[in-house]
């Protein structure tokens, strides 16, 4: 039997979920703007030379995270993407189309973004840290 108090909270739960996902989407848009601005600044300072690979990996995550954010907002607004809409369930559970959309627009976007963000930790075999350390050492010895 379904608890009536649980159904009474669904409209506010839906609004809160949508607001949270919209916040994530806005943060991703801000993140994208910051990355693009940093790449432009880097190219200006380096006279159009090579941009650091970590910046390019961060830029590659932006569309994936934007898709994930849009899907999150849609799941709160569009009944066809909402787990709490009982019309999405059949006798055997969720239909394949619902599960596929969840995997493509939700889960896979998160996993690919995660993999790209983990690649940013490969910082040129530690050479950047060695350069900073050696510069500081030279300044101290002068």
pLDDT for 1 equals 44
Count of C-beta atoms within a 10 Å radius of residue 58: 22
Residue 106 to residue 18: CA distance in whole angstroms: 15
Q: Is the pLDDT of residue 66 over 50?
A: yes
Q: Is the pLDDT of residue 40 over 50?
A: yes
Count of structural domains, the chain: 1
Indicate the pTM of the whole model: 0.74
What is the extent of the structural domain holding 33?
4-141
The whole-angstrom separation of Cα 72 and Cα 19 is 10
Burial grade of 74 (CB within 10 A; 0-12, 13-18, 19 or more): middle
42-61 mean pLDDT: 88
Beta bridge partners of 93: 90
Confidence (pLDDT) at 47: 83
> What pLDDT, on a 0 to 100 scale, did the predictor assign at position 5?
62
């Amino acid at each position: 039997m379904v608890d009536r108090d649980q159904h009474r909270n669904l409209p506010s739960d839906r609004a809160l979920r949508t607001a949270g996902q919209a916040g994530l989407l806005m943060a991703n848009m801000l993140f994208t703007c910051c990355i693009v601005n940093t790449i432009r600044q880097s190219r200006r300072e380096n006279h159009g030379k090579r941009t650091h690979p970590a910046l390019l990996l961060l830029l590659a995550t932006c569309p994936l995270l934007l898709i994930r954010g849009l899907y999150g907002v849609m799941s709160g607004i569009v009944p066809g993407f909402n787990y709490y809409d009982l019309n999405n369930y059949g006798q055997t559970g969720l239909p394949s189309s619902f599960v596929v959309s969840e995997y493509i627009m939700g889960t896979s976007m998160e996993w690919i973004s995660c993999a790209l963000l983990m690649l940013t930790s490969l910082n040129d075999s530690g050479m950047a840290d060695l350069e900073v350390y050696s510069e500081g050492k030279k300044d101290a010895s002068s």
